[in-house]
């Protein structure tokens, strides 16, 4: 029998429950930030510390299943996915930043239906860089299952929350925008505008977490947070634009710092792209050809009528001449 271990890495909002079902009894649990007495209503932990400082926080793990369960407790560096969702490094990946600052018990056993409050410490290195550092704390259960062909599978289900530490010092938010591309797609309807699709790459080159927001023409959209050092390819929701030949659209990308007056210098540009109204030109050409055909037909009709009239007059003159000769 082959043994395969796979890891299901789950990061859900704190306080939410996750169920892990295998051959054994299902295990359902939730994890939330807490104080020494239990969950304190926070959705995540955000804290400011000096280099070298240590603080004790708590997490509450609630066993919602019907069996006593041992949960593994871990901490790891955090990051934002390409869709803007927060996650933490998978088991086996090496943390090099805020994930290494957190110390927590390796495991906790919780009776069915009970909640355990577990302390953990955050210790900031003396040489830590000022600014924002993200990590995650999670509780997980490794369960085994066997698939149809007899292969044994291990599933590591993980539930946790974000721990954001701002190391005191000068904040220097900075945003870089590269690889800006814009493309116009015309509409197949004469009475509907086309669409302008914009893509670009945003990089957080400062030391503070940035909320990325952009504006194309009059349309604004938000794209979640970007941690210091992170880079993300962003696709803007297409905006309407009429095909007027050469389009000029204002383009701005901003990086704001939450709960702080500081923000990164915005990136501004003017998008210039061709929006040739091919459909409208073809429609105009069709109308022109129709009008030309109508005018040509009318002219030919007038010419034919004039020819018939001239022939009738000539016939009348001939008849009159013959009548005079006969008289």
Rounded mean pLDDT of 95-101? Answer: 97
Query: pLDDT at position 10, please?
Result: 42
With a cut of 70, say whether residue 205 has pLDDT above it.
Answer: yes
Rounded mean pLDDT of 178-195? Answer: 88
With a cut of 90, say whether residue 9 has pLDDT above it.
Answer: no
Q: Enter the tokens of residue 213.
A: 């927001």
Query: pLDDT at position 257, please?
Result: 92
With a cut of 90, say whether residue 296 has pLDDT above it.
Answer: no
Query: pLDDT at position 3, please?
Result: 31
Query: pLDDT at position 47, please?
Result: 96
Query: pLDDT at position 136, please?
Result: 96
**Matching residue, tokens 């019907």:** 66
Structural fold of domain 175-276: Immunoglobulin-like (2.60.40)
With a cut of 80, say whether residue 169 has pLDDT above it.
Answer: yes
Q: Which residue from 239, 82, 257, 251 is spatially nearest to 180, judged by alpha carbons?
A: 251
With a cut of 50, say whether residue 122 has pLDDT above it.
Answer: yes
With a cut of 90, say whether residue 70 has pLDDT above it.
Answer: yes
Domains 3-167 and 175-276 share a fold: yes
User: Quick one: what percent of the chain has pLDDT higher than 70?
Assistant: 83
Q: Which residue from 203, 191, 218 is spatially nearest to 280, judged by alpha carbons?
A: 191
Per-residue pLDDT band for 325 (boundaries 50, 70, 90) equals low
Per-residue pLDDT band for 7 (boundaries 50, 70, 90) equals very low
126: how many CB neighbours lie within 10 A of its CB?
9
Query: In the chain, where are the structural domains located?
Result: 3-167, 175-276, 278-327
Query: pLDDT at position 298, please?
Result: 82
Query: pLDDT at position 223, please?
Result: 93
> What Å distances lie between residue 295 and 47, 115, 299, 305, 309, CA to CA?
80, 88, 6, 15, 21
Q: Do residues 197 and 186 make contact, with C-beta atoms less than 8 angstroms apart?
A: no
Query: pLDDT at position 124, please?
Result: 98
Q: What is the pLDDT of residues 33-68, one digit of tens each?
A: 999 999 999 999 999 999 999 999 999 999 999 999
With a cut of 60, say whether residue 6 has pLDDT above it.
Answer: no
Per-residue pLDDT band for 88 (boundaries 50, 70, 90) equals very high
Query: pLDDT at position 323, please?
Result: 66
Query: pLDDT at position 200, please?
Result: 97
Per-residue pLDDT band for 4 (boundaries 50, 70, 90) equals very low
Q: Enter the tokens of residue 130.
A: 């000022």
Q: What is the pLDDT of residues 211-255, one digit of tens each?
A: 999 999 999 999 999 999 999 999 999 999 888 889 999 999 999
14-23, 54-63, 86-95, 222-231: least confidently modelled range: 14-23
**CATH annotation of 3-167:** 2.60.40.10
Q: What is the pLDDT of residues 135-151, one digit of tens each?
A: 999 999 976 655 566 66
Q: What is the pLDDT of residues 270-279, one digit of tens each?
A: 999 987 776 6
Contacts 24+ apart (CB under 8 A), 122-127: 122/47, 122/49, 122/54, 122/55, 122/57, 122/163, 122/165, 123/53, 123/54, 124/49, 124/50, 124/51, 124/52, 124/53, 124/54, 124/165, 124/167, 125/51, 125/52, 125/101, 126/51, 126/52, 127/51
307: how many CB neighbours lie within 10 A of its CB?
10
Query: pLDDT at position 280, please?
Result: 60
Per-residue pLDDT band for 260 (boundaries 50, 70, 90) equals low
Looking at every residue in the chain, the average pLDDT score rounds to 85
């Amino acid at each position: 029998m082959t043994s395969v271990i796979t890891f299901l890495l789950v990061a859900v909002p704190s306080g939410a429950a996750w169920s892990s079902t295998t051959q054994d009894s299902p295990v359902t649990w939730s994890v939330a930030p807490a104080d020494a007495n239990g969950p304190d209503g926070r959705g995540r932990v955000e804290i400011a510390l000096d280099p070298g400082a240590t603080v004790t926080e708590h997490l509450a793990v609630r066993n919602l299943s019907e069996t006593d369960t041992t949960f593994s407790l871990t901490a790891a560096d955090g990051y934002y996915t390409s869709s803007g969702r927060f996650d933490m490094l998978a088991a086996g990946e090496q943390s090099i930043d805020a994930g290494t600052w957190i110390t927590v018990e390796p495991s906790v056993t919780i009776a069915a239906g009970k909640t355990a409050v577990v302390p953990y410490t955050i210790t900031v290195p003396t040489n830590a860089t000022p600014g924002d550092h993200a990590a995650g704390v999670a509780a997980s259960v490794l369960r085994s299952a066997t698939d149809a062909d007899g292969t044994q599978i291990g599933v590591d289900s993980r539930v946790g929350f974000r721990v954001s530490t701002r190391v005191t010092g000068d904040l220097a938010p900075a945003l870089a925008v590269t690889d800006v591309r814009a493309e116009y797609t015309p509409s197949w309807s004469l009475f509907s505008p086309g669409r302008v699709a914009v893509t670009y790459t945003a990089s957080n080159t400062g030391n503070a977490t940035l909320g990325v927001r952009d504006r194309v023409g009059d349309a604004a959209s938000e794209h979640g947070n970007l941690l210091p050092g992170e880079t993300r390819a962003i696709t803007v929701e297409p905006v309407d634009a009429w095909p007027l030949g050469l389009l000029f659209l204002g383009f701005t990308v901003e990086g704001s710092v939450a709960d702080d007056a500081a923000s990164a210098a915005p990136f501004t540009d003017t998008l210039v792209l061709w929006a040739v109204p091919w459909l409208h030109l073809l429609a105009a050409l069709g109308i022109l050809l129709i009008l030309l055909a109508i005018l040509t037909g009318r002219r030919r009709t007038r010419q034919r009528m004039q020819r018939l009239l001239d022939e009738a007059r000539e016939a009348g003159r001939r008849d009159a001449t013959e009548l005079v000769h006969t008289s």
